[in-house]
Amino acid sequence: MTFRSDVANSEGRALLETADGVRVPLSSPTFVMTSGAAHRVEVKWRELCSVISEGSTCEGLSTTGQIKLLLELDGDVVDSQSFTVVVADPDPAKTGQLDTLDLCPDSDGTAASGGVCNFQVHGGHHFVRFSMFGVNGGFPNANLVPVDRVRVFMSEMSFTELVDPNSGLMPQDLKVRTEADGNITIDNLVHGLRPRTEYFFRLGVVDKAGNLSRVTSDQAIIDQCGALGFPTVECPFAAMTYAH
C-alpha cells in the first residue's frame, strides 16, 4: 500500500496494527519519512490472515477485519487511519469440487455459493452470443468480494482442452454491471471468431481483486452435453459460427 498523510508535520514511520493494537509483521522495513512524503507498506496475506483470524491461514477463509494504518515517531502516533480488510479465498475447499450447476439454489434448498450456474451459446458471424445466464442469488458477490467479470474460455477442439483454464484460445472477459435499479447485466458477445467453426466454452468469474474461480466443472459439461470430450447430445455450452 502506498499513501500520503494530509496531517501537518506528519513525519514518521508507517506501521500496521489490528484494532486490538497487535502489530502486523511487514514484508520489508519502513523508515522515518519527512512530512508530505509518500509512504509504502508491504504485508503478506498470510500475515494479515493470521492476525485477523487468530493464527489461521487464508485457505478457505471468508471474513473481514479492521486494520489500522499509522505513522509513528519516537513512540508517538502522528497520524492514523482504520480500514476494513476483506479476506476471501475465492474457491475454498468446501465448495471447490462442486459442480458449478450446483452452486445455485436448487429445489432441495441448496444454498447459493457463487458463480455462473448455467448458460446458452448461440453462433453468429465471427461471434457468439450468450443467453440464459444462470447465476446464484447472491451474484455478483462471491465470498464478500464483488464479481467484476465473467471470463470466457474457449476451444475449437473439444471441452477437454479447457480442463486447464490457461489452455485453449485466448480468454475473453464479459463485464458484469449492477444497474441503478439493482438488476444485474452481463455483456453477452464474444467477437473475433472464425466463421463455420464449432467452439466449446467454459465460464468462470473474476472478482475485483483479480481472483478467478467457479470455472464450469467437468460434471456440469457431462450433465448438459453427454460427454467431456465431444458432445453426444444437443449441448448449450457449444455453438457453431456461420458465414454470410
Residues 156 and 184 in one domain: yes
Residues 27 and 116 in one domain: no
pLDDT of res. 166: 57
Residues 104 and 224 in one domain: yes
Structural domains in the chain (count): 2
Strand partners, 73: 76
Residues 117 and 234 in one domain: yes
Q: What is the rounded distance in angstroms from the CA atom of residue 137 to the CA atom of residue 117?
A: 11
Residues 133 and 43 in one domain: no
Question: Where a domain ends, among 68, 88, 108?
Answer: 88
Residues 103 and 27 in one domain: no
Question: Where a domain ends, among 38, 55, 88?
Answer: 88
Residues 106 and 74 in one domain: no
Per-residue pLDDT in tens (0 to 9) along the chain, 244 residues: 999 999 998 999 999 999 888 899 999 999 999 998 999 999 998 898 898 888 778 877 778 889 999 999 999 999 999 999 888 776 544 445 556 766 665 545 555 456 677 889 999 989 999 987 776 655 666 566 778 899 999 999 888 876 555 556 889 999 988 888 877 888 999 999 999 999 999 888 888 888 787 788 888 888 889 988 888 899 999 999 988 6
Question: Where a domain ends, among 67, 88, 109?
Answer: 88
Residues 147 and 169 in one domain: yes
Q: What is the rounded distance in angstroms from the CA atom of residue 89 to the CA atom of residue 211?
A: 9
Residues 222 and 111 in one domain: yes
pLDDT of res. 223: 85
- Alpha carbons within 13 A on the beta-carbon side of 79: 17
Strand partners, 85: 65
Q: What CATH number does residue 236 fall under?
A: 2.60.40.10
Residues 57 and 104 in one domain: no
pLDDT of res. 165: 52
Could you tell me if 111 and 37 are in contact, meaning their C-beta atoms sit under 8 angstroms apart? no
Residues 111 and 188 in one domain: yes
pLDDT of res. 93: 46
User: 227-230: long-range contacts at Cβ-Cβ below 8 A with a sequence spacing of 24 or more?
Assistant: 228/158, 228/159, 228/160, 229/158, 229/159, 229/160, 230/158, 230/159
> Which range marks the domain in which residue 27 is found?
2-88
Residues 119 and 15 in one domain: no
pLDDT of res. 112: 46
